[in-house]
A and B are shown apart, each in its own frame.
Chain A
């Protein structure tokens, strides 16, 4: 049945309208932030420090801080997530313990981000005495992204044909060698896609870093992982709700929102391209 015959019935027009409204939300967000954010962009905005009580100047420390904390997040959650996914895909038998592991991962993905923030405060900031720092925030965000990395990696590993593993095993490789030489390289693009999507989530999150390390305003860039940092999402929150001259800094807030949105969309685009090319390559196998 073609789309046309469907749309002759009024009920289906309603479904189409629902879809259009959902797309309109997306369009509205992108349009409003782009239209009012682009005029705020300038070389100085992207590379300068906030000045005059954050009513002028740029957002470079926030860009830097977000990049820094996202790198810490990746260094923590990527190896851990990939290792867990390898276990689930390659080793785990279907018993109660592994079902518990799977259930935990699914439920971790549903835990509210503010709860990760509370956990980060209690564990990293207080109990492990990291203080409010890039490290504490990075690890908190790492926990948050972990279920996404695991799920994406497991999916990628599941797509590697059995014969790849069996070929290596038949040549006398141990299981680990088979995984390392044959399975992981073929799953690499899938893993990278998942990691990038995890990163884009981490870069946009505000609630988990709120009390674990992000700062209102800093005159210096964080020199090590033990310093506090500024971040794009938090900067946007501050500029749009907590600032003493909200109307005056609105253009800056729009600019910050645009940079944040662009960053997240670029990461998603990158993941999309990698996935698309991988799918194309795989068709010829």
Chain B
């Protein structure tokens, strides 16, 4: 009898431990958010919110008047992200459509692992390619003194976000019911018009979700832009100017800043801004993808 009781006790303990482990992830997400807000808020003990959000001047360790404006790095982040999407969205959707609608099963079996492999490449290695291959290439064709600029960052971020875009968009395209396509063929549509006028529009919300997830990836990427985008703190003038994104600023400065200074806290405030941005992108993508599932 007592053996039976131990078995039941073990069962209950196991259940409790598993539930605890599951709740742990809620705790982490909440913990990250609270930590960023708590440390970030301390910035505003010494810096006015107006200065922080609307000034383009970021020079927190200046001897005289230190300035904490994030506008330039936010603009830089948006610039490289938009550039990355301009490259990755057409390529990603094209490749996803090819994988989902054209490629034979055998070709897919080779291409899918290849795309997983691209996703597996560490961002520091992609950044390295930005320095040794993409940079010199850009310098040569556009006649620049060096190729470490926003365009370089955009190209690398496109490579980093392509696997996400392709995988999610391909799923969306594949889950369009065959009956849609058959209806189009029955009306005399050829494969190309069927794809462009029927299949892709039917998968639109899934494709949009894919793009937004890819953007979230690009906004949060650190090492590639840190290494290859040029690291100039000014307001970006265009794709040929060197830029420093929010992620790169945190990566460069947190290692050197003394603990507990306004500069230290301001980096957490930048982190909070970044966290809210990427969380927002995720939630929007989830919303759109959920609507898409109910559609069919």
Bound-state Cα–Cα, A130 to B29, Å: 21
Look across to chain B and name the residue whose beta carbon is closest to the beta carbon of A231. Answer: B124
Cross-chain contact A115 with B28 (CB below 8 angstroms): no
Cross-chain contact B11 with A176 (CB below 8 angstroms): yes
Report if A26-B128 is in contact (Cβ < 8 Å); known contacts: A100-B26, A107-B282.
no
8 A Cβ contacts from A173-187 to B: 174-177, 179
Specify which chain A residues have a CB less than 8 angstroms from the CB of B111 in the assembled complex.
19, 23
8 A Cβ contacts from B111-151 to A: 111, 113-118, 120-129, 131-133
Bound-state Cα–Cα, A117 to B36, Å: 11
Report if A119-B124 is in contact (Cβ < 8 Å); known contacts: A84-B25, A237-B223, A265-B117.
no
Determine which of A18, A32, A105, A207 lies in contact with B222 in the assembled complex, contact meaning CB atoms within 8 Å.
A207
Whether B103 sits at the interface, judged by CB under 8 Å, is yes
Look across to chain B and name the residue whose beta carbon is closest to the beta carbon of A100. Answer: B26
Specify which chain B residues have a CB less than 8 angstroms from the CB of A257 in the assembled complex.
125, 128
Specify which chain A residues have a CB less than 8 angstroms from the CB of B286 in the assembled complex.
103, 106
Bound-state Cα–Cα, A250 to B129, Å: 12
Determine which of A11, A32, A80, A118 lies in contact with B268 in the assembled complex, contact meaning CB atoms within 8 Å.
A118
Report if A253-B128 is in contact (Cβ < 8 Å); known contacts: A83-B18, A146-B28.
yes
Whether A171 sits at the interface, judged by CB under 8 Å, is no
Whether A33 sits at the interface, judged by CB under 8 Å, is yes
Cross-chain contact B227 with A241 (CB below 8 angstroms): yes
Whether A143 sits at the interface, judged by CB under 8 Å, is yes
Determine which of A88, A108, A179 lies in contact with B29 in the assembled complex, contact meaning CB atoms within 8 Å.
A108
Q: Which of A2-10, A41-49, A160-168, A218-226 contacts B (4 or more CB under 8 A)?
A: A2-10
Specify which chain A residues have a CB less than 8 angstroms from the CB of B124 in the assembled complex.
204, 206, 233-234, 236-237, 260
User: Nearest Cβ in chain A — how far from B102, in angstroms?
Assistant: 5
Bound-state Cα–Cα, A7 to B98, Å: 10
Determine which of B7, B98, B226 lies in contact with A18 in the assembled complex, contact meaning CB atoms within 8 Å.
B98
Bound-state Cα–Cα, A81 to B28, Å: 13
Specify which chain B residues have a CB less than 8 angstroms from the CB of A236 in the assembled complex.
124-125, 128
A3, A118, A211, A233 — which one has the most chain B CB atoms within 10 A of its CB? A118
Q: Indicate the size class of the contact surface on chain B.
A: 35 or more
Q: Indicate the size class of the contact surface on chain A.
A: 35 or more
Specify which chain A residues have a CB less than 8 angstroms from the CB of B8 in the assembled complex.
174
Determine which of A9, A91, A100, A237 lies in contact with B127 in the assembled complex, contact meaning CB atoms within 8 Å.
A237
Cross-chain contact B91 with A260 (CB below 8 angstroms): no
Specify which chain B residues have a CB less than 8 angstroms from the CB of A92 in the assembled complex.
22
Whether A230 sits at the interface, judged by CB under 8 Å, is no
Determine which of B28, B35, B162, B222 lies in contact with A25 in the assembled complex, contact meaning CB atoms within 8 Å.
B162
A80, A100, A107, A265 — which one has the most chain B CB atoms within 10 A of its CB? A107
Bound-state Cα–Cα, A80 to B27, Å: 13
Determine which of A14, A150, A264 lies in contact with B122 in the assembled complex, contact meaning CB atoms within 8 Å.
A264
User: Nearest Cβ in chain B — how far from A190, in angstroms?
Assistant: 16
State the 8 A-B residue pairs at the shortest beta-carbon distance, nearest first.
A112-B220, A18-B94, A204-B122, A83-B21, A87-B18, A174-B11, A176-B14, A15-B98
Q: Told that A112-B221, A112-B274, A233-B124 touch, could you supply 6 new A-B pairs with CB distance under 8 A?
A: A9-B191, A87-B21, A114-B247, A123-B31, A207-B123, A240-B132
Interface residues of A (CB under 8 A from B): 1-3, 5-7, 9, 11-12, 14-19, 21-23, 25-26, 28-29, 32-33, 80-81, 83-84, 86-88, 90-92, 98, 100-101, 103-108, 110-119, 121-123, 126, 143, 146-147, 150, 174-177, 179, 197, 200-201, 203-207, 210-211, 233-234, 236-237, 240-241, 250, 253-254, 257, 260-261, 264-265, 268, 272
27 contacts between A and B (CB under 8 A): A6-B101, A6-B191, A9-B191, A12-B192, A18-B93, A22-B95, A22-B118, A26-B118, A32-B129, A83-B17, A84-B21, A103-B286, A121-B254, A122-B268, A143-B28, A174-B11, A201-B120, A204-B120, A204-B124, A204-B125, A211-B255, A233-B124, A236-B128, A240-B227, A241-B131, A265-B120, A272-B113
